[in-house]
Chain A
Amino acid sequence: MEFNAGEYDVIVIGAGHAGCEAALASARKGCKTLLLTLNLDALAMMPCNPSIGGTGKGHLVREIDALGGEMGKVIDKTFLQSKTLNTAKGVAVQSLRAQADKKKYQQVMKYVIENTDNLDLKQQEAVKLLVEDGKIKGVVTHTHAVYDAKAVIICSGTYLKGKIIIGDVSYSGGPNGIFPANKLSESLKELGFELLRLKTGTPARVNKRSIDFSKVEIQYGDKEVTPFSFENETLEFDEQPCYLAYTNEKTHEVIRANLHRSPLFSGDIEGTGPRYCPSIEDKIVRFSDKERHQLFIEPEGLGTNEMYLQGMSSSLPEDVQLAFLRTIEGLENVEIMRVAYAIEYDAIEPTQIKHSLETKLVRGLFTAGQINGTSGYEEAAAQGIVAGINAANYVNKKAPLILNRTNSYIGVLIDDITIKGTSEPYRMFTSRVEYRLMLRQDNADLRLTPIGYEEGLISEERYLALKSYEKRVEDEKERLKSVKIKPNKENNKMLEELNTTPLKKTISVYELLKRPKIDYNDTACFDKDRPVLKRREYEQVQTQIKYEDYILKQKQAVKKFKAMEEKELPSDINYDLIKNLRLEARQKLNKIRPANIGQASRISGVSPSDINVLLIELVKMKE
């Protein structure tokens, strides 16, 4: 029999990376929050790769941190090695990535959650959403407990109707041996949500003691580590190496000989998998002329011998997996501890949610993470913090926080999925970001911490620290304009030593810094009395000066972009009545219901001429 189990402002369903950030944001904003999870031991679990960050994703983690989220802080405490990627390709595309101690990461996150005020954590499966008059009212769990709530955030990851596929074996299951959540999908369907069936996969975990490390390449991280969180300046860690191995012709032979046993090729898998995450069999079929494929062997943690085999995800049967792994040099005697599997799960078609991450169908119901068709811990956490903030704002009757394409990667992510939808799990890439020169990971704090502060997730102390950092950067930039370098012999000799052209007329250090390959420290010889700056500070100075001209150009583009975003489309507009719209545009607009002209222009199937028609319509409506 159902019983009333309590009343909350916000209930978060699922305690993965999205759910944890959502629950923390909501509770920290003062909402009485309940975090439900199928299994407390699965909180903040990383069921796939043992790392946080990476290209594009590193930006997301820095942004989550800048808004006052937890992911960056937790990984700073639990990483095993860290690397800034793309150091040779310019700051705009540099991203941090850290190998994580998975268990420790979970523990630290769980401890933070357990010690957060206003936040209850319970092991319960949510099976039904309670909705009245299009408004969320609460959640029923599998033990028939009824929790009333003003807002609900679903962060169901890959659990909804999860199905594990290993070769010809398949069974109902969630990730990593956890139970699936088989009932909530029905509740969503009943409410009218269109569901998608998506697929992802993970490679095998093998025992470290069964690997011959003399036959593989060792890989270390950076010596000087950059923290994810603004709150940390230096970090202590116990570095663990990763290793690099290669498949060979024998590996490929084994795989080719067993392709008929793959559910992907036989058609047993119905879900759409991500192209950026192909299985090894997929790679061998599609890139048949490639002689070898890389695989990265990464530690899962300090207290375990499990090693993750990046690059080897597969849905071939277990015996085939073992056979092909053992053809690889260094893995001749490898023992599999967890077999690679593919997992299928339900998600909602993400054009059914608003930029606030509230669903368009049910007021007060929010979704974040893989349920929205994304993939990745970082993408999930990024949505989690936004959903948490906005559920709290909804409860407190405040305006939602809408991040956009011009201020954050998170804004790009949310805009992409809610406007364009997705047919495969969506992953962040820096190339999805139009203004990536402005949206660097190094200035995430400057971009977003003021927003986090306004939303009440950033402490006064941290905000002031940011302001003082910002001021020191500005002051130094100003100062560098007044430090002149004369074109004399001595200076020109030093310039030649820096491999840059000598001077013909006097310039400032500021101007010299605009030259490529000249960094702040290189210019110290022309600027003997410079103040002592922290690394973060002078790096920021140098980047801002170097990119100034290009950033100005991007700002012009942003201005144009924003003008379109400011042209709001009324929520009750009936596109069927606008006769000059083409049919496809009309259908798409009716379905997605963009909030403004800018959004409308990004919908596939809406042409520039449709946009003109809409612009005219808007002015007519104003008259």
Chain B
Amino acid sequence: MISKDTIAAIATSIGQSGVSIIRISGEGAFNVAERLFRSKNKSFLDLSKNSITHGFIIDPKTNKEIDEVLISKMVSPNTYTGEDTVEINCHGGIGVTKEILNVVINNGCRLAEGGEFTKRAFLNGKIDLVQAEAISDIITARTKEFKQTALDSLKGKLSEKIGDIKEDIINLLSHLEVTIQYPEYDIEDLTDEEIKEILVTIKEKLKKLISTFDKGEILKDGVNIAIVGKPNVGKSQLLNQLLGSEKAIVTDEAGTTRDVVDEMINIGGIPVKLSDTAGIRDTSSKVERIGIEKSKSIMKSAKVILFVVDSSQKLDKDDIEIFENIDKDKKIIAVLNKTDLKLNEETEVFFNEIKDIEVIKISALNGENIEKIYKKIYNIISNSENNELNDVLVSNERHKNLLNNAYESVENALGNLDMGFEVDLVSIDINNALESLGEITGENTSDQVIEDIFKNFCVGK
């Protein structure tokens, strides 16, 4: 929808880039920046037109500094969208960028819809008709794409959970409304206490759902999988095989992969972040030391650990030490590499005797059995019972915002009940909560309450 409100979004692609840009556009853009930006001498509003200034983004609630940034002030109409625009160049990384975006949104913006900056640019006459055709396509394409992902997430538990909360709200509303529409029928009015009780349950459910958002973020950034093993057992080769391309440096010399190499792959629709750790080995080399520290922390955050050994060799002290360092609560796949060479029986027996560990024999050199690893990873992350992935429901910023709106509406309703306001006011907030949830699933909720009244109550002449 075209409106005068101020919108914001992360303008750069999300990833491990060095710098991220958050763009704010609209009438209130400068006021938003004024609230968040601190620099040595000047307030944001005093900055000159079309300037770039160094300073800090703070959270005005806590006065806490979030990041050191460069901020651009671009005055309407000479901007991309044609509106007053602010761009915050912050340090890359998802954490910081998201945090800044959150603060921006909490201070007078809403999250931009896909393609909205471009749409505004067009509507403000900044781009021409030919481009407009393209945009129109993009918007529909985006919608299709969005629908696809929306469908994916809605197929799962999110829609179930939201549907569940919606049903609670609809039931409550239809009970409230039926006594309004049919005041003389023998339908018991809900007492304020009963309404409160129902609202508190709804509130708790919303809260729980919202709290999954951070986990959802992890999902969006990928399920972590660490590839560990002592140097030169073929970790990088395995990574390359899993990626289907050669990214990590592969040499025969032990300890070549000093930095952690992160790669995203898609396994059955689930984004997976593969981290090839530097060979974990006691070392005095400083560079390697850092790499190893990192490896350990990566193992901690990993969901699945691929423990790679050279199956042609007898396991040595290094292998055992690394294996002992792996947290046994993690899902572990023992990857017995180098099946192209002669198998060491002792090594095989060692793994066969350990319970709760998957063993896959591969050859990273010629690609043998690589697909077994894919399958195993997929099974682990999609099926395991107490998998946090199953709790991950809210992975979309827009959904989170709408859930927050619903939560606030329920709180308002509770507040008004406490103050002794009557049903006509209280029902407005409850209705707003329902509408917010409806927006997530793209449904029009306006007729649902009436439907429910006739389904569940016996009224009428």
Contacts and interface: CB of A to CB of B under 8 A. Distances in A.
Interface string A504-528: 0000000000011100000000000
Contacts of B420: 516-517
A373 interface: no
A93 B458 contact: no
A608 interface: yes
Interface in A345-364: none
Contact of B139 (A515, A616, A623): A616
A220 interface: no
Contacts of A563: 3
A619 B132 CA distance: 10
B422 A516 contact: yes
Contacts, number: 123
Interface stretch (A205-213, A275-283, A383-391, A482-490): A275-283
A93 B423 contact: yes
Q: How large is the interface on B (under 10, 10 to 19, 20 to 34, 35 or more residues)?
A: 35 or more
B180 A560 contact: no
Contacts of B140: 580, 609, 613
Contacts of A613: 136, 139-140
Contacts of B137: 580
Interface string A435-476: 011000000000000000000000000000000000000000
B214 to A, nearest CB: 28
B287 interface: no
B454 A275 contact: yes
Contact of B422 (A55, A89, A276): A89
A86 interface: yes
B444 A619 contact: no
Contacts of B143: 609, 612
A275 B180 CA distance: 17
Contact of A286 (B2, B139, B458): B458
B4 to A, nearest CB: 8
B94 interface: no
Contact of B424 (A92, A274, A287, A623): A92
A93 B180 contact: yes
Nearest to B422: A90
A607 interface: yes
B3 A278 contact: no
Contacts of A517: 420
Interface in A66-112: 85-86, 88-93
Interface in B407-461: 419-425, 428, 442, 444, 446, 449-450, 454, 458-461
B351 interface: no
Interface stretch (A183-191, A288-296, A319-327): A288-296
Contact of A86 (B132, B183, B454, B459): B183
Interface string B380-423: 00000000000000000000000000000000000000011111
Interface string A552-566: 001000001001100
Interface in A533-556: 547, 550, 554
A187 B10 CA distance: 61
Contacts of A56: 181
Nearest to A276: B460
Contacts of A406: none
Residue of B2, B185, B420 most packed against chain A (CB within 10 A): B2
Contacts of A560: 3
B2 A310 contact: no
A619 B428 contact: no
A56 B453 CA distance: 15
Nearest to B5: A560
Interface stretch (A1-9, A11-19, A28-36, A425-433): A425-433
B123 interface: yes
B80 interface: no
B424 A93 contact: yes
A102 to B, nearest CB: 15
A89 B422 CA distance: 5
Interface in B1-54: 1-3
Given A277-B460, A283-B458, A619 B123 contact: yes
Nearest to A292: B186
B3 A55 contact: no
A620 interface: yes
Contacts of A89: 179-180, 183, 422-424
B449 A612 contact: no
A84 to B, nearest CB: 10
Given A55-B182, A93-B180, A276-B454, A612 B424 contact: no
Interface string B165-205: 00000000100010111111110000000000000000000
B1 A611 contact: yes
Contacts of B442: 607-608
B354 interface: no
Given A56-B181, A560-B3, A616 B421 contact: no
A604 interface: yes
Nearest to B459: A276
A49 interface: yes
B424 A90 contact: yes
A317 interface: no
B240 to A, nearest CB: 40
B136 A623 contact: no
Nearest to B146: A609
A202 B177 CA distance: 24
A612 B139 contact: yes
A494 to B, nearest CB: 18
B242 interface: no
Contacts of B323: none
B424 A313 contact: no
A615 interface: yes
B1 A90 contact: no
Nearest to B417: A516
Shortest 8 CB-CB distances between A and B: which pairs? A90-B424, A90-B422, A92-B424, A516-B420, A609-B143, A275-B454, A287-B458, A580-B140
Interface of A: 48-49, 55-56, 85-86, 88-93, 203, 274-278, 283, 286-287, 290, 293-294, 296, 310-311, 313, 429-432, 434, 436-437, 515-517, 547, 550, 554, 560, 563-564, 580, 602, 604, 607-609, 611-613, 615-617, 619-620, 623
13 contacts: A86-B183, A93-B424, A283-B460, A429-B181, A431-B180, A516-B422, A564-B1, A608-B1, A609-B139, A609-B143, A612-B119, A615-B1, A619-B122
